[in-house]
Amino acid sequence: MAACVLSIVTMVTQVVVVLEVRNLRSELETKLRHKEAVPDGKDFDKLRGAKAALNDPRGLPGAAGSSGRDGRDVKQPGTVSPENLACPSGYVKFQDTCFSFSNERRNHAEARCACQTTELNCQTTGGHLALPKDQATNDFLVNQIHDRYPNGDDVWFGLTDQLQEGEWAWDDGAPLGTGWTNWYTGQPDDGADGFSSAEDCARWREDSYKWDDGSCFFPRHYVCEVSAAVP
Ligand SMILES: [Ca+2]
Ligand SMILES: [Ca+2]
């Protein structure tokens, strides 16, 4: 009888021990999972740093304001708003472009050259004759011309068909194509009215400020442009 009771007590004890071990294992696994999911303080700092770097474009290689491989600041085009750009002395800013209005008259070739170089030190300006490619720019320039040349004057801008008759191209090399235009009625006519033998250079007409092709050899006032830049 005593042996039987001892056997039963032993079995119960073994069951209790097994249950206790299972309980401990379950608790330990829960703690381990928790530890993997929740990083310690150092890991949080690393994660915060990595996230901040991803959210801040200045922290990425080659992004605006960062240093390039050669150590110079890398400026991404289009990332600076026009109000933060500046023009050289003597230029007037419209949007992201700077314009200058000549005091003297030149033929088209001389005017084009004058817009591309500075006469003071013969350095290239990176500029060219003005390109009124849209109505807003054209309206701005026409208003300036009206105020600056009150006696009326035809004014050169950078549009010609010198390379191929009838194929108008801007002085930056882009074709006029089907882009916005502001030709005077009946223009361009390549001198068909008999006023010139050939007319390959576009100008603003003094009477209406509409576009008209004229002989490139007449000396006229002209408008130059350069891109505005970060001061
Ligand atoms: Ca022509
Ligand atoms: Ca004409």
User: pLDDT value at position 125?
Assistant: 80
Assess if residue 25 is contained within a domain: no
Residue 121: partners with Cβ closer than 8 Å, 6 or more residues away: none
What distance in angstroms lies between residue 225's CA and the mean position of ligand 1's atoms? 23
pLDDT band at 105 (very low <50, low <70, confident <90, very high): very high
Tokens 């770097």 — which residue? 53
What distance in angstroms lies between residue 201's CA and the mean position of ligand 2's atoms? 9
What distance in angstroms lies between residue 196's CA and the mean position of ligand 1's atoms? 10
Assess if residue 51 is contained within a domain: no
User: How far, in Å, CA of 152 to CA of 87, rounded?
Assistant: 27
**Any idea what the CATH number is for the domain that residue 182 is in?**
3.10.100.10
Structure tokens at 139: 């309206």
pTM of the model: 0.64
Structure tokens at 63: 């992004």
Assess if residue 61 is contained within a domain: no
What distance in angstroms lies between residue 165's CA and the mean position of ligand 2's atoms? 13
Assess if residue 205 is contained within a domain: yes
What distance in angstroms lies between residue 213's CA and the mean position of ligand 1's atoms? 7
* Whether the predicted pLDDT of 137 surpasses 70: yes
- Residue 189 structural domain: 88-227
Assess if residue 152 is contained within a domain: yes
Assess if residue 71 is contained within a domain: no
Please give the sequence-ordered ranges of beta strands (E in DSSP) within the chain, or none if there are none.
92-94, 97-101, 128-129, 155-160, 169-170, 201-204, 211-214, 221-227
The amino acid that residue 163 corresponds to is L
User: pLDDT value at position 33?
Assistant: 40
Assess if residue 78 is contained within a domain: no
What distance in angstroms lies between residue 198's CA and the mean position of ligand 1's atoms? 6
Assess if residue 53 is contained within a domain: no
**Percentage of residues in the chain having pLDDT higher than 70:** 64
- Ligand with minimal distance to 185 CA: 2
Domain count, the chain: 1
* Whether the predicted pLDDT of 79 surpasses 90: no
User: pLDDT value at position 226?
Assistant: 95
